[in-house]
Chains A and B, each alone.
Chain A
Amino acid sequence: MRVSAQEGDVIVTHALGSCLGVAVHDPVACVGGLLHVMLPLSTIDPAKAQANPFMFVDTGFPELLVECFETGALRQRLEVRVAGGANSWNRGEDDFFQIGKRNLVVLRKLLWKTGLLLKSYDVGGTASRTMSLEIGSGKVTIKSGGQIKNL
């Protein structure tokens, strides 16, 4: 998880499979953060969550928000974008653990509770993604399967 208020910074995270990349950006304060979370709930290993809250959606996302607010972002101005939540099976039914889907469900619950809507998203499928956030512009780029697109 990285938060920055430096206009020239670009934060990148790679290999988003079932993991979620969550990018938040305040265009007025020019503050942004990118989070790479792996598992939905910290209840499976509270000790690990204490040591590294950014492993889990339910502890990582609130931390991301807190750090952004402490850096000067305002909730009302925040733009939230998410990518990832894929699974490695061609048929959804073969995805036994459904980590990607469950990560998204937990994130959606947190977004609803916090009163945030997604500005845009690119989730699901079977391909891995690389996500980058430009702090100056708030632009989020997704690289996947040899293609690049703006989110």
Chain B
Amino acid sequence: MALNILVVDDSSVMRAIIIKTLHLSQLPMGEVHEAANGQEALKVLDGNWIDLALVDINMPVMDGEEMINRLKQNPATSDLPIIIVSTEGSESRKEVLMQKGARFVHKPFTPETLRDAILRTLGGLDEQKAGNGTI
């Protein structure tokens, strides 16, 4: 039951942090693919089976919102579970993005927050936080 994961972010440092968090979350990991923008990500999705995508919003060439719109238009990818990992602060913009069926994790995040979002998206955890308090 190994999971193939796609990480989309223009920052290679952020991609490395997300990938390390994936490994620390003790998920059954299959292939991990990376893309630096929406266009590269769509190319990866064309040639590979992906179980979960973690997507940044603000990226050059093609941003995360445009990428998600394209995914929804294609029946082969319209059901792909997506978690948006972004600095986006605007509540209305977040609403729009979550309407498209994506879960939202706000940057900066603790690794536990990302782990819990992934487990909830994949159906392994009920809607209760791991902890109380910040930091």
Contacts and interface: CB of A to CB of B under 8 A. Distances in A.
Contacts of A120: 130-131
Q: How large is the interface on B (under 10, 10 to 19, 20 to 34, 35 or more residues)?
A: 10 to 19
A108 B115 CA distance: 15
B133 A117 contact: no
Task: Determine the main DSSP class of B at the interface with A.
Answer: mixed
A60 interface: no
Contact of B130 (A105, A112, A116, A119): A119
A117 B112 CA distance: 6
Contacts of A122: 131-133
A93 to B, nearest CB: 15
Contact of B133 (A108, A112, A115, A125): A125
Contacts, number: 43
B131 A108 contact: no
Interface in B76-135: 110-112, 115, 130-135
Nearest to A121: B131
Contacts of A40: none
Nearest to A81: B131
B115 A101 contact: no
A123 interface: yes
Chain A, interface residues (CB within 8 Å), range: 10 to 19
B39 interface: no
Nearest to B131: A121
Contacts of A148: none
B24 A124 contact: no
B130 A108 contact: no
B108 to A, nearest CB: 11
Given A118-B130, A120-B130, A121-B130, A104 B112 contact: no
B135 A118 contact: no
Contacts of A76: 26
Top 8 closest pairs, chain A to chain B, by CB: A124-B133, A121-B131, A123-B133, A104-B135, A122-B132, A120-B131, A120-B130, A117-B24
27 contacts: A76-B26, A104-B135, A105-B135, A108-B110, A112-B111, A115-B20, A115-B23, A116-B24, A117-B25, A117-B112, A117-B115, A118-B112, A118-B130, A118-B131, A119-B130, A120-B131, A121-B112, A121-B130, A121-B131, A122-B131, A122-B132, A122-B133, A123-B132, A123-B134, A124-B134, A124-B135, A125-B133
Interface of A: 76, 85, 101, 104-105, 108, 112, 115-125
Given A85-B133, A124-B132, 14 more contacts: A108-B110, A115-B20, A115-B23, A115-B24, A116-B24, A117-B21, A117-B111, A118-B130, A120-B130, A121-B132, A121-B133, A122-B131, A122-B132, A123-B132
